[in-house]
Amino acid sequence: MVKFLVLGCLLALALPTLAEVGWWKTAQLYQIYPRSYKDSDGDGVGDLNGITEQLPYLKEIGITATWLSPIFTSPMADFGYDVADLKNIDPIFGTMEDFEKLVARAKELDIKIILDFVPNHTSDECDWFIRSAAGEEEYKDFYVWHTGKVVNGIRQPPTNWISVFRGQMWTWNEQRQAYYLHQFHAKQPDLNYRNPQVVEAMKDVLRFWLRKGAYGFRIDAVPHVFEVSADADGNWPDEPRNEGVDDPEDYSYLQHIYTTNQPETIELVYAFRDVIEEMDRELGGDDRILLTEAYSPLEVLMQYYGNGTHLGSQIPFNFELLANINYYSDAYHYSELIHNWLDNMPEGQTANWVFGNHDQSRIGTRLGADRIDSVNIIKSILPGIDITYQGEELGMTNVFISWEDTVDPQACQSNEEEFERLTRDPVRTPFQWSDEQNAGFSNASSTWLPVSSDYKLVNVKRERGIALSHLNIFKQLRTLRDEPTLKQGDTTVTAIGPNVLVIKRSLAGQKSYIAVININDDVETVDLDSAFTSISTQLQYVVVNDKSVRRKNDLTFANSVLLLPKEAVVLSTV
Ligand code: GLC
Ligand code: MG
């Protein structure tokens, strides 16, 4: 008996728990835009079986977890961000059984599936909205309704608020004889979070998908969830003008002080996190996670992490670099933005690095195709979570889509002159698997968005065979991230002059790793010896890009590292 106990204790020591606590802290996350990943049934739109089929590819490139843009029942006014049935799969993507198969296969491969959760709004075709518009008691206050104000005998919306997708944030509903609020498209009515029943209903949606095997959620458009409280008469204030913007329909015409970043929003994320904790207890297994999408000021973002008494989102997306770096940014600017996050993060939290998603111009288009490897190096070497949007590992770039062929509502609601500034179609085109028909994405005669004309050069199959392709560099970086230094080491980030960014990771008793990136086209020689005290005199090349004349395993003196234009490398101590 005693023997048995001892053995049990030893086992317990060796296997403290089967659950992996904190697996996400050094994870490689990958965003799939399901409409454009892989089409298994030949209708020209990607689907769940397509994703399941390609999970081994995610394994090949070292992905730990993947978040899927919405796969739920939807009339697709905003390509799934208008959810009509929050607990069901849209037929275009497949069935609930297909989802279960995806989760099961992902589990076998040890890849976690994260879902997109859209709390701000539903579709106007959602049963809740239909009942709310009909004035049914239970759903009457599920959305934000107002009869408007009458000025000179003419009925007008209650405020001057403008929707993100242009024009009034209010649409008149005949049946209800009132305006409803929509921060986005008129087909995306905002839920009323001042109604506790809405909060409960949405928490139930979280529980539903967690029980189905999702490992967490990317929470959509968080800053928009609350509007300022109405006054005693049930009215809201107008938003002030943004000087310099003349188009009264454009979202940037107003300062969104009453419709974004209200303090209640943070509290709501804490409440959602409580559900995550509750479900971790109910379901066991590894930690479940929340990622929050907010383009908000840094001090707001930091509150999403938690506040000492409440836990929040483990991964408030870090858009510092995505939103602020442009083609002309110098190394000081990169360094400053990286420091902004690292130096302001609350104690004990984990950083994350995002350079792209389905709403933003592709890296190769925004920063130049010859900076793709640099970006992949930066985000893999920095501490914490590395997040990649599908296709960025291949160096996919924006695809021009004419006004006639544009389908993104954000652009379609504008006009032929403005749509290019607004359209997100160019970054949502089919994933490029091979040089076959439709880049191997689909065997349909046409795909929902056109395939990029560069697919014969930029595709998985071809890049697998090229030593220094973006894909192979990406894969090498993934392997490197298994090193203890990259998992737990200290971080130093600095610019050496305007052109060279240096990121050093070090851990006692382990090799140090130093990413050295020449952002521009001057030939540079940098002295890492004086940039970092006590670095070994010789350093070894661990990762090189196709601008380097050096090869992997070559040696260099630390006090004179030569960098060719746009060369980006990782060196290690020897
Ligand atoms: C988020 C999504 C975007 C969507 C919007 C409305 O910003 O990323 O694609 O259009 O929310 O749901
Ligand atoms: Mg399909």
**What is the tens place of the pLDDT at every residue in 525-564?**
999 988 887 677 899 999 999 999 999 999 999 999 999 9
206 in a structural domain? yes
Q: Tell me the residue range of the domain where 166 lies.
A: 127-181
407 in a structural domain? yes
Strand pairing report for 555-557 and 513-518? unpaired
What is the total count of domains within the chain?
Answer: 3
Q: How far apart are CA 570 and CA 557, in angstroms?
A: 14
Q: Average pLDDT of the chain? A: 95
188 in a structural domain? no
Look at residue 5 and tell me whether its pLDDT is greater than 60.
no
Which of 474, 506, 532 corresponds to the end of one domain? 474
Do both 204 and 338 map to the same domain?
yes
Q: What is the residue with the minimal CA distance to atom 9 of ligand 1?
A: 359
**What is the tens place of the pLDDT at every residue in 76-126?**
999 999 999 999 999 999 999 999 999 999 999 999 999 999 999 999 999
Q: What is the mean pLDDT of residues 440-452?
A: 98
Query: Separation of 54 CA from ligand 2 center, angstroms?
Result: 14
Which of 474, 502, 524 corresponds to the end of one domain? 474
Strand pairing report for 289-292 and 315-316? parallel
100 in a structural domain? yes
Do both 496 and 445 map to the same domain?
no
**What is the tens place of the pLDDT at every residue in 186-205?**
999 999 999 999 999 999 99
Please indicate whether residue 81, judged by its CB atom, sits closer than 6 Å to ligand 1: yes
Please indicate whether residue 422, judged by its CB atom, sits closer than 6 Å to ligand 1: no
Do both 209 and 332 map to the same domain?
yes
SS3 at position 309: coil
187 in a structural domain? no
511 in a structural domain? yes
Q: How far apart are CA 549 and CA 501, in angstroms?
A: 19
CA Rg, the chain, in Å? 25
pLDDT number for residue 24 = 97
Q: How confident is the model at residue 18 (pLDDT cuts 50, 70, 90)?
A: low
Query: Separation of 220 CA from ligand 1 center, angstroms?
Result: 6
Please indicate whether residue 460, judged by its CB atom, sits closer than 6 Å to ligand 1: no
Look at residue 10 and tell me whether its pLDDT is greater than 50.
no
Please indicate whether residue 220, judged by its CB atom, sits closer than 6 Å to ligand 1: yes
Residues classed as catalytic: 220, 293
Which of 423, 451, 474 corresponds to the end of one domain? 474
Query: How is residue 538 written in tokens?
Result: 């010789």
User: Angle 320-326-330 (CA atoms, 0-180°, nearest 5)?
Assistant: 90
Q: What is the residue with the minimal CA distance to atom 6 of ligand 1?
A: 81
Look at residue 2 and tell me whether its pLDDT is greater than 70.
no
Which residue, 348, 318, 320, 278, is CA-closest to 22? 348
